[in-house]
A and B are shown apart, each in its own frame.
Chain A
């Protein structure tokens, strides 16, 4: 399930057969039934093996001022919540729908109504971006979701099926430069491009910012893409509220057009890190980036 490491391989946990079986089951099984099974049978068995993830979330919770006991609770709740969002993601692939509430809807509406430029959505492994982010935007503009090319083919196939239905397409980021051209052309055509901005993949270059208890590394690539063309830059955080409800937080990020591209990218990355730190501080149980990119050096 969860795994901590300093470099993400670009792969999602689980075999293709496992993913296909889960999607097939979710086509007929009510969501609550799978939740009950996961919470009472699977998680109690799996949690004791997830020491590294538990320790990481416990550490983050302690950093945000929670007591030891509360932090243990947050760490365990995090794994339960993670299981929930994974089930929801596959439920979405199986055709199930969720209720979406949006905070910052005017920012979203403004970006969608702007015919003069495209929109870059920076997402994170906080909550469940894929569940709401994709459908919100694709109903209005052509949507390009940048995903990492080594992810399991089942996930790719299901995403593609879902995306095909919804005016969206996947842009595979891999060793070739093709994705750079696709992103460039999408932004030129004033489309929407979504890219995860909290995991290093491909280029080893990063920005180091104070983040919670240390200095964390954010991938330069995502922010370079965000400023490569004039675009609305939005940060989306999608948090699970209840069994079938998600809340989307939309925040606008600003890049001073008088600065150079690298300065603008740095400026956007800094705002992204600040917003993300606030979100993780408030909701550590929904932080699912178990890949520890921090240098673990003490915050100055």
Chain B
């Protein structure tokens, strides 16, 4: 999956499932402070990521993820990681 495809999918679920306003979605945007993602949204994110990208988010791997770019980096790394 390419970086563009990942960004598009993330953008789609932020707008459609989490009802985030389109103009708030920018690469450097802070997930919590700028986009307004909170623990409630995270419930949806856990399920949506699993459904759309086919892997489970692990809490320890999300520790340093604060911006949308970092979130997409994390997904890119997971989906393109060689299968064990």
| B79 within 8 Å of A (CB atoms) | no
Number of interface residues, chain B, beta carbon within 8 A: 15
Contacts of A177 in B (CB 8 A): 39, 42, 59, 62
Q: List 19 A-B contacts (CB under 8 A).
A: A177-B39, A177-B59, A179-B39, A180-B42, A180-B43, A181-B46, A203-B38, A203-B40, A204-B38, A220-B40, A221-B39, A221-B40, A221-B43, A224-B43, A228-B44, A261-B44, A261-B47, A262-B17, A262-B44
**Complex: A176 Cα to B39 Cα, angstroms:** 8
Contacts of A202 in B (CB 8 A): 38-40
- Taking A180-B43, A202-B40, A224-B40 as given, write out 14 further A-B residue pairs in contact, using a Cβ cutoff of 8 Å, ordered by the A residue number: A177-B62, A184-B43, A202-B38, A202-B39, A203-B38, A204-B38, A205-B38, A205-B40, A221-B39, A228-B46, A261-B17, A261-B44, A262-B19, A262-B44
**Complex: A205 Cα to B40 Cα, angstroms:** 8
Contacts of B40 in A (CB 8 A): 202-203, 205, 220-221, 224
Most chain B C-beta atoms within 10 Å of own C-beta, residue among A180, A202, A261? A180
Q: How many A-B residue pairs have CB under 8 A?
A: 51
With A260-B17, A262-B17, A262-B19 already in contact, the answer to whether A180 and B38 are too (CB < 8 A) is: no
Tell whether, in the assembled complex, residue B46 and residue A180 are in contact, meaning their CB atoms are under 8 Å apart.
yes
Shortest Cβ gap from B64 to chain A (Å): 13
Shortest Cβ gap from A206 to chain B (Å): 10
With A177-B62, A202-B38 already in contact, the answer to whether A228 and B43 are too (CB < 8 A) is: yes
| Residues 162-182 of chain A, each 1 if its beta carbon lies under 8 Å from chain B, else 0 | 000000000001011111110
| A225 within 8 Å of B (CB atoms) | yes
Shortest Cβ gap from A220 to chain B (Å): 5
Top 3 A-B pairs, shortest CB-CB distance: A203-B40, A221-B40, A224-B43
Shortest Cβ gap from B72 to chain A (Å): 18
| A229 within 8 Å of B (CB atoms) | yes
Contacts of B58 in A (CB 8 A): 181
Cβ < 8 Å to A, chain B residues 1-58? 17, 19, 38-44, 46-47, 57-58
**Complex: A221 Cα to B62 Cα, angstroms:** 20
With A177-B59, A181-B59, A262-B19 already in contact, the answer to whether A228 and B47 are too (CB < 8 A) is: yes
The size class of the interface chain A forms with chain B is 20 to 34
| Residues 182-218 of chain A, each 1 if its beta carbon lies under 8 Å from chain B, else 0 | 0110000000000000000011110000000000000
Contacts of B57 in A (CB 8 A): 181
Question: Residue of B at shortest CB range from A220?
Answer: B40
Most chain A C-beta atoms within 10 Å of own C-beta, residue among B19, B40, B42, B47? B40
Question: Residue of B at shortest CB range from A226?
Answer: B43
Shortest Cβ gap from B61 to chain A (Å): 11
Contacts of A260 in B (CB 8 A): 17
Quick one: which of A173, A184, A262 contacts B46, CB cutoff 8 A?
Answer: A184
Shortest Cβ gap from A230 to chain B (Å): 11
Shortest Cβ gap from B9 to chain A (Å): 16
Contacts of A180 in B (CB 8 A): 39, 42-43, 46
Contacts of B46 in A (CB 8 A): 180-181, 184, 228
| Residues 248-282 of chain A, each 1 if its beta carbon lies under 8 Å from chain B, else 0 | 00000000000011100000000000000000000
Question: Residue of B at shortest CB range from A221?
Answer: B40
Question: Residue of B at shortest CB range from A261?
Answer: B44
**Complex: A183 Cα to B62 Cα, angstroms:** 17
Contacts of A262 in B (CB 8 A): 17, 19, 44
Contacts of A220 in B (CB 8 A): 40
